[in-house]
Homo-oligomer: A and B are copies of this chain.
Amino acid sequence: MSEPAAATTRDDSPLAIVCGGGSLPFAVADAVAKRGRRAVLFAIRGWADPQRVLGYPHHWAALGRFGWFCRVARQEGCRDVVFIGALGRPAIWKIKPDLKTLQLLPRIFAIYRGGDDHLLSGVARIFEEHGFRLIGAHEIAPEILMPEGPLGRERPSERDDVDIAKGFALLEAISPFDIGQAAVVAGGRVLAVEAAEGTDQMLARIHELRKNGHMAAERGVLIKAAKHGQDRRVDLPSIGPQTIVGAARAGLAGIAVVAGSTIMAEPAQIAELADRERLFVLGLRHASAA
């Protein structure tokens, strides 16, 4: 999917940030403020951090209130919209749709039945049809993208390099099936493949397997990569301090991601935690990067 060419041009209208969980939304809001642009958070109840939201211009939002969003965002003068932060696939019975959303429901339902890609790009299209322009968070704040090279002090061993290569090859092979963007490989053996459960749960599984002793001696590597054809505006893979904690608990040697195609939450804290846990965190220009 192509990105709007004008996205990074200067725009003085306030930016609407539809704000899920974690610290990323605030990193983006700070980066926007630093550039002198006003950012308004639309904090999704149940996901956005209620304490940190207080420090920014914000409205509390709920899924399914699309009519409300259109109205309030227009009142705020917002035209550009960024989706950022953890959200997960929402429980459909938790959504209380407003009238506008009700009208869109058959379409939303059809989108919902597809894979993650369809969900996100379908929702993006609906926003655009209502006069908003969807922009990738990394276009507004490129500093949130993982650079090439290591974060922190540790480096992968030659064995880790083999695991990394195998992991990227595996993610490449499953990319056409529109599934998760992560795997764990240890000593040449694929221990886990992420699908609907998400990276944190996958790492917790490795921790369990290891605790029960059903595991090779090698530490292993978490590999993440964007799927082909993924809508980069709404769904780049991301890592944050939580990923380091999970990888450390899983006994891994490190994390390898695609430089320029992976969002980092709190890079300084990632580096510090990685050094403390003696994990490498590596950005690679990989051939299969989307």
B114 and A188 within 8 A (CB): yes
The 9 closest A-B CB pairs, nearest first, are: A91-B213, A193-B193, A179-B190, A191-B196, A89-B214, A192-B195, A115-B189, A113-B187, A173-B173
B-contact 0/1 string along A206-234, CB 8 Å cutoff? 00010011111110000000000000000
Best-surrounded residue of A189, A194, A212 (most CB of chain B within 10 A): A189
B170 and A174 within 8 A (CB): yes
- A112 interface contact, C-beta 8 A: yes
B189 and A114 within 8 A (CB): yes
The residues in A between 133 and 175 inclusive whose CB is less than 8 angstroms from any CB of B are 166, 169-170, 173-174
- A94 interface contact, C-beta 8 A: yes
A193 and B191 within 8 A (CB): no
- A55 interface contact, C-beta 8 A: no
- A4 interface contact, C-beta 8 A: no
Contacts of A113 in B (CB 8 A): 187-189, 216-218
When chains A and B are docked, how far (Å) is the Cα of A116 from the Cα of B190? 10
A193 and B209 within 8 A (CB): no
- Given contact pairs A191-B196, A193-B195, A196-B192, A212 touches B170 in the complex (Cβ within 8 A): no
The residues in A between 92 and 114 inclusive whose CB is less than 8 angstroms from any CB of B are 92-94, 112-114
B-contact 0/1 string along A110-140, CB 8 Å cutoff? 0011111000000000000000000000000
**In the complex, how many angstroms separate the beta carbon of A38 from the nearest chain B beta carbon?**
34
Best-surrounded residue of A178, A191, A197 (most CB of chain B within 10 A): A197
- Given contact pairs A166-B177, A197-B205, A216 touches B94 in the complex (Cβ within 8 A): no
**In the complex, how many angstroms separate the beta carbon of A198 from the nearest chain B beta carbon?**
9
B192 and A197 within 8 A (CB): yes
A214 and B166 within 8 A (CB): no
Contacts of A194 in B (CB 8 A): 193
B89 and A215 within 8 A (CB): yes
- Given contact pairs A190-B195, A196-B214, A196-B215, A170 touches B177 in the complex (Cβ within 8 A): yes
- A77 interface contact, C-beta 8 A: no
- A176 interface contact, C-beta 8 A: yes
**In the complex, how many angstroms separate the beta carbon of A158 from the nearest chain B beta carbon?**
15
B92 and A213 within 8 A (CB): yes
6 contacts between A and B (CB under 8 A): A88-B214, A113-B217, A114-B187, A173-B176, A192-B195, A197-B209
